[in-house]
Amino acid sequence: LASVVIVGAGQAGFQVATSLRQSGYEGRISLIGDEPGLPYQRPPLSKAYLLGKIGATNLLFRPEKFYTEQRIELRHDRATAIDRQNRRLLLEGGEALGYDHLILATGAHNRPLPVPGAELEGVFGIKTKVDADTLAPLSKQARNVVVIGAGFIGLEFAAVAASLGCAVHVLELGDRPMARAISREMSELFSQAHRRWGVHLDFRQGLTRVIGENGRVTGVETSDGRILDADLVVFGIGVIPNTQLASEAGLEIANGIKVDARLLTSDPHISAIGDVACFPCLQNDEQLTRLESVQNAVDHGRAVAARLMGKPAPYVALPWFWTDQGDLKLQIAGLSIGYDSTVVIGSVEDAQVSVLCFRGEQLIAVESCNRPGDHLAARKILSRQPALGPAEAAAPGFELKVWEA
Ligand code: FAD
């Protein structure tokens, strides 16, 4: 391969470029990104960066000289079309880049708030550094904050806003926080923590409109007709994968760009990785799955680099994830989709808890709150198809670390 072109200079795009060089690839690497500045990590945008605990330089994966030294051509441009027949990528700036292999790492964008008033000033999603830079000063001035959606990003922001002294009200359509991704027991622990921090959680509740004056938000109307004051509204109601480039080029799309177990699209010269890729996930019964996490972006990037360097292998990496809210760090290993029983270990009062999620006799996920040792042990255990059933885990004195060793 003389040339690899990567679209999207986020977590996955950066990783595949870096892994290619690390594994000895000598050809040309072009990394095309449409955001300003150098490639950066997103997780701190809704946490430490927003609080000013880390600065802009700490968001960067690497300083500028890394790209020069590694001969990774970083281009600020937007890919507008793929000419598959001639293996060329067309850029908004007018250039056409030839490729031997193309990697789509275009990520996802925030699902917009589907109500009138969503365009008012003071209504935000958090996706980019620009979003966080705009939001940070406003969060410090805000008095009444309404958060739409009790998913990871909404709740991370709720915890930040509460710590800044804002009155925070969260509207969530479901009946518990982070319901798509964690067990009932862990949701309950986080509900209690948020209430302790002064966050008002309003479940089974949506909004009908955002209200404003002179173009600026002043409140929201809830589904049951109440008006809540708000000088800042932050929504986190899921994302939509950036598939347009792929679909216009005729690649197969599922809930994302469809790839096989090697992360190849329906065109053998094009791979897709990270948030945008919908892949047969071992831990989800090989069903087509799209994950949104740093782990997924990084491991996809590594897997594609290895394949391009002549070491193909089916993608089997264990999914894991984390979220920081207030003084709680939640780390999740595995996928709890379809769990039917749980075993809770640790101390709920001290918020140092691991929830082991089982499907039948099979351990499928471990959620650890402020128990990092459990999380590391769980990752090792889950990576090798554990023979750990609920009865054994529920035995008095059971410890994941001991079992793992
Ligand atoms: P991205 O990092 O989104 O990068 C895609 C890039 O492609 C973007 O820069 C986009 O602008 C660019 N692009 C798209 N189309 C084009 C085009 N046509 N031409 C050029 N460029 C294009 N994960 C965790 O595991 N833990 C966390 O705590 C966590 N916190 C998060 C907090 C926030 C606020 C956000 C937004 C995400 C968080 N995530 C977290 C998720 C994690 O950041 C993503 O899963 C990861 O960034 C996905 O990497 P990616 O490369 O697939 O997509």
pLDDT score recorded for residue 33: 98
Task: Provide mean pLDDT across the span 32-59.
Answer: 96
First to last CA, the chain: 43
For a mutational test of ligand 1's pocket, the pick from 275, 324, 379, i.e. the residue with the most ligand atoms closer than 8 A to its C-beta, is 275
Does residue 95 or residue 386 have the better pLDDT?
95
Which ligand 1 atom is at minimum distance from the Cα of 245?
A: 18
pLDDT score recorded for residue 263: 98
Which ligand 1 atom is at minimum distance from the Cα of 39?
A: 9
Distance 390 CA to ligand 1 centre (A): 36
pLDDT score recorded for residue 388: 87
Nearest Cα residue to atom 26 of ligand 1: 322
Q: What is the CA radius of gyration of the chain?
A: 22
pLDDT score recorded for residue 384: 85
Per-residue buried b or exposed e for 384-402, using 16+ beta carbons within 10 Å of the residue's own CB: eebebebeebeeeeeebee
Rounded Cα distance between 12 and 18, Å, is: 10
pLDDT above 70 coverage of the chain, percent: 100
* Cα dihedral 245→251→252→254 (10° resolution): -10
**pTM of this structure:** 0.97
Rounded Cα distance between 235 and 155, Å, is: 10
pLDDT range class, residue 385, cuts 50, 70, 90: confident
Does the CB atom of residue 8 touch ligand 1 within 6 A? yes
Distance 295 CA to ligand 1 centre (A): 12
Question: What's the pLDDT tens digit per position in 295-353?
Answer: 999 999 999 999 999 999 999 999 999 999 999 999 999 999 999 999 999 998 899 99
Q: What residues form DSSP beta bridges with 223?
A: none
Nearest Cα residue to atom 27 of ligand 1: 43
Q: What are phi and psi of 356, to 5 degrees?
A: -95, 125
Does the CB atom of residue 42 touch ligand 1 within 6 A? yes
CA-wise closest residue to 380 among 355, 359, 363, 358: 363
Rounded Cα distance between 314 and 316, Å, is: 6
CA-wise closest residue to 129 among 186, 196, 44, 203: 44
For a mutational test of ligand 1's pocket, the pick from 38, 74, 106, i.e. the residue with the most ligand atoms closer than 8 A to its C-beta, is 106
Q: What are phi and psi of 81, to 5 degrees?
A: -160, 155
Q: What residues form DSSP beta bridges with 264?
A: 271
Cα 380-382-386 angle, rounded to 5 deg: 110
Task: Provide mean pLDDT across the span 44-66.
Answer: 96
Distance 246 CA to ligand 1 centre (A): 17
Q: Quick one: three-class SS letters along the chain?
A: CCEEEEECCCHHHHHHHHHHHHCCCCCEEEEEECCCCCCECCHHHHCCCCCCCCCHHHHECCCHHHHHHCCEEEEECCEEEEECCCCEEEECCCCEEECCEEEECCCEEECCCCCCCCCCECEECCCCHHHHHHHHHHHHHCCEEEEECCCHHHHHHHHHHHHCCCEEEEECCCCCCCCCCCCHHHHHHHHHHHHHCCCEEECCCCEEEEEEECCEEEEEEECCCCEEECCEEEECCCEEECCHHHHHCCCCEECEEECCCCCECCCCCEEECHHHEEEEEHHHCCEEECCCCHHHHHHHHHHHHHHHCCCCCCCCCCCEEEEEECCEEEEEEECCCCCCEEEEEEECCCCEEEEEEEECCEEEEEEEECCHHHHHHHHHHHCCCCCCCHHHHCCCCCCHHHHHC
Question: What's the pLDDT tens digit per position in 101-154?
Answer: 999 999 999 999 999 999 999 999 999 999 999 999 999 999 999 999 999 999
Does the CB atom of residue 44 touch ligand 1 within 6 A? no
Does the CB atom of residue 46 touch ligand 1 within 6 A? yes
Cα 313-321-47 angle, rounded to 5 deg: 140
Distance 11 CA to ligand 1 centre (A): 6
Asked if 3 and 99 count as a contact pair (C-beta separation under 8 A), the reply is yes
Rounded Cα distance between 80 and 210, Å, is: 34
Nearest Cα residue to atom 47 of ligand 1: 11
Task: Provide mean pLDDT across the span 364-368.
Answer: 97
Rounded Cα distance between 67 and 50, Å, is: 27
For a mutational test of ligand 1's pocket, the pick from 124, 293, 318, 324, i.e. the residue with the most ligand atoms closer than 8 A to its C-beta, is 293
Does the CB atom of residue 122 touch ligand 1 within 6 A? no
Nearest Cα residue to atom 53 of ligand 1: 107
CB atoms under 10 Å from CB of 48, counted, come to 16
- Name the average pLDDT for the chain: 97
In the predicted model, is pLDDT for residue 285 greater than 80?
Answer: yes
Distance 161 CA to ligand 1 centre (A): 23
Does the CB atom of residue 61 touch ligand 1 within 6 A? no
Question: What's the pLDDT tens digit per position in 213-224?
Answer: 999 999 999 999
Question: What's the pLDDT tens digit per position in 22-43?
Answer: 999 999 999 999 999 999 999 9
Does the CB atom of residue 110 touch ligand 1 within 6 A? no
pLDDT range class, residue 360, cuts 50, 70, 90: very high
Distance 210 CA to ligand 1 centre (A): 27
For a mutational test of ligand 1's pocket, the pick from 134, 147, 294, i.e. the residue with the most ligand atoms closer than 8 A to its C-beta, is 294
In the predicted model, is pLDDT for residue 48 greater than 80?
Answer: yes
Rounded Cα distance between 379 and 333, Å, is: 6
Distance 274 CA to ligand 1 centre (A): 8
Does the CB atom of residue 153 touch ligand 1 within 6 A? yes
Distance, C-alpha 119 to centroid of its chain:
24
Largest pairwise CA distance in the chain = 67
Distance 42 CA to ligand 1 centre (A): 6
pLDDT range class, residue 181, cuts 50, 70, 90: very high
